[in-house]
Structure 1
């Protein structure tokens, strides 16, 4: 979010309404964790899954993941549904998982966890899955965890899961286009066809005195 605020300020300082950032829609959706830091996962831990029978649903349209029941099995579900959710608090090694009993859609749950704790819960192994299922408890119905699927890719090849879409975005208007991402002067993101000609934001590495620049 701190980086996003810098980019927003660059757009506003340049006096433009919108500018490209480096997020593009690719052709191969993949499952990934909201908490994307590579140091958080040992070998193969980011690939741990505990799907229920018949999951994930091959029909598509269900791009976020819930723990369904006390057995800790996972189901994919529409990200716009409102459920309780599990946050991960990296500052508490004794009780790192927090059940939030406010019902939110997946994106709002992610935002809450990042603001109040660390992120939505990742599940790296069967032991952690059992711990999270225990925190979930009984009677809470579906509960969000931090696994989601999309095809958006950063041009630098990073696996950051940070997104800051505006309301009802991305909406993929005009299926014949390849979609790229604009940041608006409000700081929210919008998907549009990559063929449009607009300003863009460059990143200039760690050189002293350099940073993010808008170009017309």
Structure 2
């Protein structure tokens, strides 16, 4: 599942705490899924059907994403965040809304991976009497 330059990966084989999930994502991918825009949110909502309330990269330290950026204009459920029990410092998503939860609860989670970008410049010299738009000339160029 793709969104811009990021690939979101749902991990449904492991139930982990928020901190364990973040460690797993950082070791195997890039990080917990973070900094959602509306198209990211819509795409992740489509992935939610097989599992319930997954972790993503939102935590309380004046609510930030796991990549350190401040989180604003979040789609909190009514009455959320409520910091129930005084230790609901991480967030899950359920039915398009965010809920704060204790970070020690075990949930599935979303990671994201940035695609590596790679540029390669090649210089070719082709001698031909034909046009570069000619199929045979293009074939010769691609073979080099």
TM-score by length of 2: 0.51
Offset at residue 3 of structure 1 (A): 1.1
1: CA distance, partners of 2:111 / 2:67: 11
Contact kept in structure 1, 2:92 and 2:98, CA below 8 Å: yes
Find out whether 1:189 has 2:98 as its counterpart: yes
2: CA distance, partners of 1:7 / 1:170: 20
5+ long unaligned stretches in structure 2: 1-37, 118-144
Offset at residue 158 of structure 1 (A): 2.1
Q: Which residue is equivalent to 2:90?
A: 180
Greater strand content: 1
5+ long unaligned stretches in structure 1: 27-150, 209-216
Per-residue CA shift, 1:142-193, capped at 9, x if unaligned?
A: xxxxxxxxx1011012234241111111111001x25100011x11110010
TM-score by length of 1: 0.35
Offset at residue 6 of structure 1 (A): 1.2
Find out whether 1:25 has 2:63 as its counterpart: no
Count of aligned pairs: 80
Query: Using a 3 Å threshold, how does the CA distance of structure 1 residues 23 and 157 change in structure 2: closer, same or farther?
Result: same
Query: Using a 3 Å threshold, how does the CA distance of structure 1 residues 194 and 183 change in structure 2: closer, same or farther?
Result: same
Structure 1 segments of 4+ aligned residues over 6 angstroms from their partners: none
